[in-house]
Chains A and B, each alone.
Chain A
Amino acid sequence: MEAKVANDWRLRGQRYRLEGEVCGHCGVAIFPPRDICPECGKPAKTPAPLSGRGEVYTFSTVYNAPEGFEPYTPYTVALVKLEEGPVVTAQLTDVAPKDVQIGMPVEMVTRRLRTHGEEGTIVYGYKFRPRVRV
């Protein structure tokens, strides 16, 4: 439990508010943060929030969920291409699996991801949903 709590805590910036990095050398947006620019290979440690707007690049529906995510089935996991460039893997929410389409405009929301049992912490993080105002 302690290791899970510490890991969740370390990821709170990226999970709660989609905080990435921007490369000071070539200007590319980076998510998730990795401190090295994937484009030019130089150090990139400047935190930068992403807009949270993007579109569904590809998706698949999960019926047999991994441990901890069973209460939410069926749900859709998508690769979301953000306006700033990075592609994020995330759950979609507020949409029935049959209504998901490639190219669908989506926006980031912060939702419950899972709980660590009845007595453990509640883990919150980003998901994407169809935009409320396009």
Chain B
Amino acid sequence: MGEGRLMKSQRAVGIVGHGAYVPMYRLPGAEIARVWSGAGRGPVREKAVAGLDEDTITIAIEAARNAVARAGLAPEQLRAIWVGSESHPYAVKPSSTLVAEALGAAPYLLAADFEFACKAGTEALQAAMGLVGSGMGDYALAIGADTAQGRPGDELEYTASSGGSAFIIGPADHAVAICRGSLSYVTDTPDFWRRAYQHYPSHGGRFTGEPAYFHHSESAGGALLDELSMTAKDFTYAIFHQPNVKFPGRAAERLGFTAAQIEPGLLSNLIGNTYAGASLTGFSAVLDIAQPGDRIMLVSFGSGAGSDAFAWEITDRISSHRDMAPLTTDYIKRRVEIDYALYARYRGKLRD
């Protein structure tokens, strides 16, 4: 039963364009294991690695260009560009203004960077729904993108990867996916952090599982189902934050979703954990194959900690939009395997 936790804008809103980007380089887990333990494979098959000239801004720009192409908008129609990331290239200077200039959306819009570990992108998505839902603007762009770094030899190094996705929120009558409701669940939980001026993050080891990832993902997802008086069976697909393959599988199962429902949006075995881009790029892959009438549940998780949960319904407009930009799988298939030495060079791990 509803308890007033649901967030829903007075004006119905939805996604009018989506786009993904994943860099082409892949580092297999077995190669990381070879260097640090001599054997084994790690929790994902391989992860996407950004090239020398890529960062969160360049990833955000390409994903956003794909979203704009699918939406069929003039970039000047955007009233906000919000970029969620834990790897903004500058400590002080927004990523979002540069993305706005690159798209040709500047200067009459809001631009800001969001931070909330891996849920910074869905936080931006919630805010975009609020802006458009209130009528302050007709279109707002939310992006989640990262070039995540793990300390060499740390377990996070197997999964921390690069990629991102972008979503333009607009009025529901222009949407390919209408939002039926969302909610957020946050607590102060120190499962993962990075202090100022530190290059690599630290984490709470086993503390990252039950009290952090599972508690927040299941609380947000469960409360959304409850508020909407729906069950997992009412959905065609579900996407969870994917720091590895096991966690999203287990969270989905506990909420009643089947392996078939989460498989199309579970990319971590192919690209690793793209942090703020992770659940959103899974969502982008699902939008690439969804059919009118499909219902999709999206649940992010960000350390620190919190989850955003959304329920979407696909409209008839989806089929004409799909081919206006590369599909998520086009980027995933564009694969060039590298070894640990080249990875160390590309990600700035070689220092004098």
**Residues of chain A having any CB pair with chain B under 8 Å:** 12-13, 16-17, 19, 49, 71-72, 93-94, 109-113, 122, 124, 127, 132-133
| CB-contacts of B70-90 with A (<8 A) | 89-90
Cβ of A16 and Cβ of B102 under 8 Å apart?
A: yes
CA distance A12 to B330 in the complex (A): 29
B53's partner among A12, A17, A72, A132 (CB-CB below 8 A) is A72
Interface residues on B, range: 20 to 34
B61 contacts A110, C-beta separation under 8 Å: yes
* B55 A132 Cβ-Cβ under 8 A: no
28 contacts between A and B (CB under 8 A): A12-B101, A13-B101, A16-B98, A16-B101, A16-B102, A17-B102, A19-B104, A49-B104, A72-B53, A94-B24, A109-B58, A110-B58, A110-B61, A110-B62, A110-B102, A111-B58, A112-B52, A112-B54, A112-B58, A113-B53, A122-B55, A124-B57, A124-B102, A132-B326, A132-B330, A132-B331, A132-B334, A133-B326
Instruction: Give A126's nearest chain B residue, CB to CB.
Output: B102
Beta-carbon contacts of B87-124 to A below 8 Å, as 1s and 0s? 00110000000100111100000000000000000000
A93→B102 contact, CB < 8 A: no
Which of A94, A110, A113, A122 is the most central at the interface, judged by chain B CB atoms within 10 Å of its CB?
A110
Closest 7 CB pairs of A and B: A111-B53, A16-B102, A112-B53, A132-B326, A110-B61, A133-B326, A110-B102
> Taking the nearest CB of chain A, how far is it from the CB of B175, in angstroms?
24
Docked pose: A133 CA to B61 CA in angstroms: 17
Interface residues in B45-60 (C-beta closer than 8 Å to A): 51-55, 57-58
Contacts of A113 in B (CB 8 A): 53
Given A94-B24, A132-B334, A124 and B58 touching (CB < 8 A)?
Answer: yes
A89 and B330 CA atoms in complex are apart in Å by 27
Q: Within B22-58, which residues are at the interface with A (CB < 8 Å)? A: 24, 51-55, 57-58
Given contacts A16-B98, A109-B58, A110-B58, contact A71 B24 (CB under 8 A): no
- Contact check: which of B54, B90, B326, B334 meets A111 at CB < 8 Å? B54
9 additional A-B residue pairs with CB within 8 Å, beyond A17-B103, A111-B54: A16-B98, A72-B52, A72-B53, A94-B24, A111-B53, A112-B53, A124-B58, A124-B98, A132-B326
CA distance A94 to B90 in the complex (A): 24
Chain B 178-230 residues near chain A, CB threshold 8 A:
none
Whether the pair A17, B104 counts as a contact (CB closer than 8 A) is: yes
Interfacial chain A residues near B51, Cβ < 8 Å: 93-94
Please indicate the chain A residues that have their CB under 8 angstroms from the CB of B24 in the complex. 94
With a cutoff of 8 Å between Cβ atoms, the chain B residues found around residue A112 in the complex are 52-55, 58
For B62, the chain A residues whose CB sits under 8 A away are: 109-110
| Residues A122 and B89 in contact, CB atoms below 8 Å apart | yes
Knowing A94-B24, A112-B53, the reply to whether A17 touches B101 (Cβ < 8 A) is: yes
Q: Tell me the complex Cα distance, A93–B53, Å.
A: 8
Chain B residues with Cβ below 8 Å from A133 are 326, 330
Interface string of B216-253 (1 = CB under 8 A from A): 00000000000000000000000000000000000000
Which of B24, B53, B89, B334 gathers the greatest number of chain A CB atoms within 10 Å? B53
Residues of chain B lying within 8 A (CB to CB) of residue A94: 24, 51
Alpha-carbon gap, A112 to B102, bound state (A): 13
User: Which of B58, B90, B326 counts the most A-chain CB atoms under 10 A from its CB?
Assistant: B58
Q: In the bound complex, how far is the Cα of B52 from the Cα of A16, in angstroms?
A: 18
Query: Which chain A residue has the least Cβ–Cβ distance from B55?
Result: A112
Residue of A nearest to B75 (CB): A17
Q: What separation, in Å, do the CA atoms of A17 and B65 have in the docked complex?
A: 10
List B residues 300-331 near A (Cβ within 8 Å): 326, 330-331
> Across the two chains, which residue of chain A brings its CB closest to B93?
A121
Bound together, the chains give a CA A112 to CA B55 distance in angstroms of 8
Question: Nearest Cβ distance between residue B346 and chain A, in whole angstroms?
Answer: 10
